Homo-oligomer: A and B are copies of this chain.
Amino acid sequence: MARDTSRDGFGNKLQAYVLTHGTRIWTWIQSVPPFARLVNKVLIDSAIAMIPSRPYAYSLMTLDPHVPDTDVAKNTDTYTSWDSLIDRRYTGRHLPPAPDFNRDGALPHLDDLAVLFRKKNGATILSEKSTMLFPYWVQWFTDGFLRTDRYNRLRNTSNHQIDLCTVYGLTTKQTHLLRSFKDGKLKSQQINGEEYPPFYYADPEAGTVKPEFEGLYVPLNDETRLPAARKFQLFAMGVERANIQLGFVMLGTLCLREHNRLAALLAQSYPQWDDERLFQTARMILMVEIMKIVVEEYINHISPYKFKFLTDPSAFRNEKWYRENWMAVEFTLVYRWHSALPDTLAYADRTMPMVDSLWNNAMLIDRGLGALFEETCAQPATRIGLFNTADFLIEAAELPSIGLGRMAQLASYNDYREMAGFPRVTAFDQITADVDAQRELQRLYGHVDNIEFYVGLYAEDVADGAALAPLIGRLVGIDAFSQAFTNPLLAEHIFNAQTFSDVGWKIVNTPVTLADLVNRNTPPIGRRYDVSFYQRDGR
């Protein structure tokens, strides 16, 4: 049975149709740079314009029962204050709190919602489009700026920038611990002829870290509980989550190698530069490489459009959305794609549970970076949506995400549809064609107006050729574009050869893919490693 599309909105349907049809016209537009740049600008500007620009009227500060940094009790009314406009330690929000919607008893019991995420008869729905590199990348990339404070979930520990803190640390002091202070390079070690971050622990049995890394981060509980054999191979990287899963470590290692490669390249061209300048310039070049991969490889992979987005910072100079970045709680929730990660992965010649890839750096060291990337890209991701989350992530990730939304007193799914320019749905079959999902949603929520933001997001059907459901796609696009193009490295008087050096400017202006990064940072094997977000037949 097909989904009832009567509440998709005419404008939305038209836009989707135009952008997903007419390959020849789009190819032609893309081939004429001024047209391509104009379309790029119009699409991005009009997407962001769907919702009000920053600064947000309210942050999660309003929900704090105390005056910030005191024990003084206060009402949790919803109002703006100078502190709430300035203090980005508190996470932002797009819509005001909806206390009535979230009142005790109004929403289903959290545990009762597990059924929405659990696989039907254990059956995994594979993605038709994405390889496992896709969820690996998403986790690594988003953990750099969507950082809920584990001690106070109203707050975050984000720098609110795509600054590769996962590689360089969150603060200058952490960066210093990771730097060799020689030739602009990050500290590293050679194993089996390949470069890796240094090991972090001095004594894995006792759980003590090397003195040179003291103060790098406070370990997660999961890390402190690890057996010594696992701790032994943890790497010293930028954030407390950097060793959390194989994909995270692969991408961190890749960036380390690229940074050190760039530093060496710069040192060759600019022998008079000192360590500091080599380090800083290599870092800036790498950050732009990653931002280009974000827009041109990753976002274009997500997008079902025939038109391919460009990294064209010069298009965004007078935009009203060009305001100081501030991560919003809704952005963290639209970016929780736990269902994209399969339960198992193929590793070397065997299949192993995905949980075994957590905190397990031996898997990388034993196999080497290139082979592991290629192997990752030979496996499909799973489809983002309901009934498709690995068991170990339902309790650990899906339900806590819904809990975060409730603590933040988020408005309903329908309210967010309305905010983002979609008509409110009036029946369950307007959300999804999946009758099981319709039935469960009906049973749990009774009426579509009662559906929570998080649940509604993931209940929506993913359109053909897309990686994401419509509301997720739009909200991700708004927050991602409006906070990526505001990066100071892309600013009018900064994005130039003066900043990056002539050598760096050439690199910054050369197309780059993840495959390029992998292949130039692994020992040669006589052919290119095959690395892509797309499954083989889609490449």
With beta carbons under 8 angstroms apart, the residue of B57, B69, B159, B493 that contacts A52 is: B493
Residues of B within 8 A of A79 (CB): 277, 280-281, 499
Which of A83-91, A332-340, A393-401 lies at the binding interface?
A: A83-91
Would you call A81 an interface residue if the criterion is a C-beta within 8 Å of the partner chain's C-beta atoms?
Answer: yes
With beta carbons under 8 angstroms apart, the residue of B75, B81, B488 that contacts A85 is: B488
Q: Mark A66-107, 1 if CB is under 8 A from B, else 0.
A: 011110101101011111111100000000000000000000
Q: A85-B489, A161-B86 are in contact. Are A494 and B57 (CB under 8 A)?
A: yes
CB distance from A489 to the nearest CB of B (A): 7
* Interface residue SS majority, chain A: loop
CB distance from A320 to the nearest CB of B (A): 5
Residues of B within 8 A of A68 (CB): 172
Q: A52-B493, A281-B79 are in contact. Are A276 and B74 (CB under 8 A)?
A: yes
With beta carbons under 8 angstroms apart, the residue of B67, B317, B499 that contacts A276 is: B67
Residues of B within 8 A of A53 (CB): 492-493
Q: How many residues of A are in contact with the other chain, CB < 8 A?
A: 54
Residues of B within 8 A of A284 (CB): 80-82
B55 near A280 with CB under 8 A, answer no
A492: nearest residue on chain B (CB-CB)?
B53
With beta carbons under 8 angstroms apart, the residue of B173, B280, B318 that contacts A82 is: B280
Would you call A149 an interface residue if the criterion is a C-beta within 8 Å of the partner chain's C-beta atoms?
Answer: no
A276 near B492 with CB under 8 A, answer no
CB distance from A273 to the nearest CB of B (A): 8
Q: Mark A272-306, 1 if CB is under 8 A from B, else 0.
A: 01111100110110010000000000000000000
Q: Mark A402-430, 1 if CB is under 8 A from B, else 0.
A: 00000000000000000000000000000
Instruction: Determine the distance from Cα of A274 to Cα of B70 in the docked complex, in whole angstroms.
Output: 16
Residues of B within 8 A of A281 (CB): 79, 81
Would you call A176 an interface residue if the criterion is a C-beta within 8 Å of the partner chain's C-beta atoms?
Answer: yes
Residues of B within 8 A of A323 (CB): 322, 491
Instruction: Determine the distance from Cα of A324 to Cα of B72 in the docked complex, in whole angstroms.
Output: 32
CB distance from A96 to the nearest CB of B (A): 9
Residues of B within 8 A of A319 (CB): 318
Residues of B within 8 A of A505 (CB): none
Q: A80-B498, A284-B81 are in contact. Are A55 and B488 (CB under 8 A)?
A: yes
Residues of B within 8 A of A26 (CB): none
Q: A80-B498, A320-B492 are in contact. Are A87 and B280 (CB under 8 A)?
A: no
Residues of B within 8 A of A86 (CB): 159, 161, 163, 488
Residues of B within 8 A of A277 (CB): 74-75, 77, 79, 81
Would you call A445 an interface residue if the criterion is a C-beta within 8 Å of the partner chain's C-beta atoms?
Answer: no
Would you call A181 an interface residue if the criterion is a C-beta within 8 Å of the partner chain's C-beta atoms?
Answer: yes
B75 near A274 with CB under 8 A, answer yes
CB distance from A286 to the nearest CB of B (A): 10
Instruction: Determine the distance from Cα of A322 to Cα of B320 in the docked complex, in whole angstroms.
Output: 9
B320 near A494 with CB under 8 A, answer no
CB distance from A498 to the nearest CB of B (A): 7
Instruction: Determine the distance from Cα of A155 to Cα of B243 in the docked complex, in whole angstroms.
Output: 36
B70 near A176 with CB under 8 A, answer yes
Residues of B within 8 A of A67 (CB): 176, 181, 276
* Chain A 486-509 interface residues, beta-carbon cutoff 8 Å to B: 488-489, 491-494, 498-499
Instruction: Determine the distance from Cα of A491 to Cα of B326 in the docked complex, in whole angstroms.
Output: 15
With beta carbons under 8 angstroms apart, the residue of B80, B181, B498 that contacts A72 is: B181
A499 near B57 with CB under 8 A, answer yes
CB distance from A156 to the nearest CB of B (A): 17
Instruction: Determine the distance from Cα of A493 to Cα of B80 in the docked complex, in whole angstroms.
Output: 11
A287 near B82 with CB under 8 A, answer yes
A317 near B320 with CB under 8 A, answer yes
CB distance from A503 to the nearest CB of B (A): 13
A499 near B80 with CB under 8 A, answer yes
5 A-B pairs besides A55-B491, A81-B280, A318-B320 with CB distance below 8 A are A74-B275, A79-B277, A81-B276, A81-B283, A87-B172
Closest 6 CB pairs of A and B: A81-B280, A74-B276, A85-B488, A80-B499, A317-B320, A75-B274
Q: Could you write out 5 A-B pairs with CB less than 8 Å apart?
A: A52-B492, A55-B488, A72-B181, A79-B499, A86-B488
